[in-house]
Amino acid sequence: MPARAKRFEEYERHQLTPALGDGGSVLEWTTRSDRAFHVEIDTGMGRAGVRWDEVDELGEAVDALSFQGCYTHFHSAERSDGSAERQLERFLTAVGRLPRRPAMLHVANSAAALRGKQFALDLVRPGIFLYGGVAAAGGPAPRPVVSVRARVVSVRRIRSGESVSYNASWVAARDTVVATLRIGYADGIRRDAGVQGKGHVLLRGKRCPIVGVVQMDMTLVETGPLEVQVGDVATFVGEEAKQRITLEEFAGWSGEVPHEFLTGLGARLPRLPV
C-alpha cells in the first residue's frame, strides 16, 4: 500500500518504513526525514508504484542513503506462462537505471519464492504459505496452521418436505436431523457456502453438508443419523478424527481463494493460538 504524504508524521511517530511509488512522495519524505524508505516499481500489476519504464522520473530523489529497498509485485506468479519472468526482467532493468542500488530488492510472494533462487534476490515476502495455504496448483503443501470451528447450539428434527433457512433454501428429502452452528456470514462464512450442496463441516469425525443459505450468525448442517449434541464442535477448516477439510477446499466451496477466506474471518471469532 503506497504511503500518503499526509500520513508521514504517523510513520515517523511509529517508526515505520514507508513504501513510496512516485517521485513527489520520495522527495517529500527525504526532505523531512533521513529514515529509510522503499520504492515500489509497477511491472504489470497496474495498481500502484512508478512504472518500470518511467523510473527516470524519480531522478536524484532516490540517490539517498535512506533509500533502503525496492520491490515489485507479481500478478500471476502461480502460473507457468512466463509472466513472472517478464516482470522480473522489467524490474531488474528498471533498478539498473536508478542512480543507486538499494540494499534490499524483493519481489517474491509465496508462489514466486517456491519457484527458484532467481526470484529470491535479497529477501522474500511469503504470505499465504505461512498460513498453511498452497501457493500454486500442484505446488508443495505446507503444514496446516489454521483451523475454523464453531459449536452446536441447537439440534432439531426436520420432516420430509420441510424447509430450513431463509427463502426456504433447502428442503429435506427425508426425515432427518439438522444442527445449528454458532457462526455465520458475519464471521466470514459465505452465505452461499452450502447452496449448491458442496460445503461440508466435520462433526464427530463425519462430513455433514451445510444446508440452506448461511445466516448472519448461524449455519445449518444436516447430521442425519449421527448422534450430535448441543455443545459439540464442528470443524469448517482443519482436522478432526483423522478427517480433514483443507483451506483450499472450503474456500473453493465458497467461490473464494484461500487469501479471501482468511482475511474475511470476522473480528468476533476468537483467535486461539495452539
From first to last of its 274 residues, what are the pLDDT tens digits of the chain?
778 888 999 999 999 999 999 999 999 999 988 999 999 999 999 999 999 999 999 988 999 999 999 999 999 999 999 999 999 999 999 999 999 999 999 999 999 999 989 999 999 999 999 988 888 888 888 888 999 999 999 999 999 999 999 999 999 999 999 999 999 999 999 999 988 788 999 999 999 999 999 999 999 999 999 999 999 999 999 999 889 999 999 999 988 999 999 999 999 999 998 8
Which of 186, 182, 175 is CA-nearest to residue 201?
A: 182
CATH superfamily for 148-263 is: Lyase, Ornithine Decarboxylase; Chain A, domain 1 (2.40.37.10)
Q: Please, where in the chain does CATH 3.20.20.10 lie?
A: 5-129
Helix (H) or strand (E) holding 273, with range, is none
**Range list for CATH 2.40.37.10 in the chain:** 148-263
In this structure, what C-alpha cell is assigned to residue 34? 533521513
Q: Which CATH number fits the domain 5-129, given the four candidates 3.40.50.300, 3.30.428.10, 3.20.20.10, 1.10.3720.10?
A: 3.20.20.10
Nearest to 73 by CA among 52, 55, 59: 52
112 and 106 Cβ atoms separated by less than 8 Å: no
Instruction: Give the C-alpha separation, 258 to 264, whole Å.
Output: 10
Cell of 57: 522520473
DSSP class of residue 140 equals: P
